[in-house]
Amino acid sequence: MSVAPETAAEYRPAVGYLRRSTDRQEQSIGDQRKAIQRYAEERGFEVLDFYVDDAISGTSADERKAFLRLIEDASADGCLFRYVLVYDIKRFGRLDNDEAGYYRFQLRRNGIEIVYVSEGFNGDDTDDLLRPVKQWQARQESKELSKVTIRGLVSRSSAGW
C-alpha cells in the first residue's frame, strides 16, 4: 500500500509510536517525535496522538505498555487512526520476525498501515521482502549488544569492580 496521498484533501489520521531502550540511545524520544511530525507535515498526515515507551527494551512486546495499548486501540470499534508512524523498524521493536509479523498483521487486519518514516519503503511489493530482513537485522543487533554487555560485566566482575 502506498503512503502518498491521492488528493491534497485526503484525510490521513495517524498516531506516532516512540520507543527508546536507554538514556544513551542515539534517537531520543524528542528526536523521534520531531522526525515523525516533520514527515507527517510534509506528507499530509494528521498526528492525533503519540504512544511512548521510554527506557523499554524492544525485544519483546510484553512489557511495552504503550505498544500494547496501541494494538488494543487499533482493534477497537471506532478507531480514529488509519496510520501508525514510527521512526524506523528498530523503534517498532527488535522482535523476532514471527512476533513482529503478528503485530503488523493485527494492525493491517484493522485497516491500519505502519509507516517507517526513515526507512525509505515505497509501498510496493519489495517492501514485503525488505521489511523482514530489516527486522531480522534489528534483532541480531540487539543480540550482539547483549553479548557485548554481558562480556563487559563479566570482565569488570573478574577485575573486582
90: domain CATH number is 3.40.50.1390
Which region holds residue 89: left if phi is over 0, alpha if psi is between -120 and 50, else beta? alpha
Is residue 8 included in any domain, yes or no?
no
Is residue 146 included in any domain, yes or no?
yes
Question: Which pLDDT score, from 0 to 100, does residue 121 have?
Answer: 75
The residues, any chain, with a CB within 8 Å of residue 29's CB and separated by 6 or more, are 18, 20, 52, 54
Per-residue pLDDT of the chain (161 residues), as tens digits, is 445 555 556 999 999 999 998 766 567 999 999 999 999 999 999 999 999 999 888 888 999 999 999 999 999 999 999 999 999 988 998 877 888 899 999 999 999 999 999 987 777 776 676 666 655 665 567 556 654 555 455 455 566 66
Tell me how many domains the chain contains.
1
Q: Give the C-alpha distances (Å, rounded to integers) separating 75 from 82, 110, 124.
A: 11, 6, 25
Is residue 51 included in any domain, yes or no?
yes
Is residue 20 included in any domain, yes or no?
yes
E strands in 22-142: 46-54, 83-86, 113-116
Is residue 7 included in any domain, yes or no?
no
Is residue 101 included in any domain, yes or no?
yes
Domain of 21 in residue numbering reads as 13-158
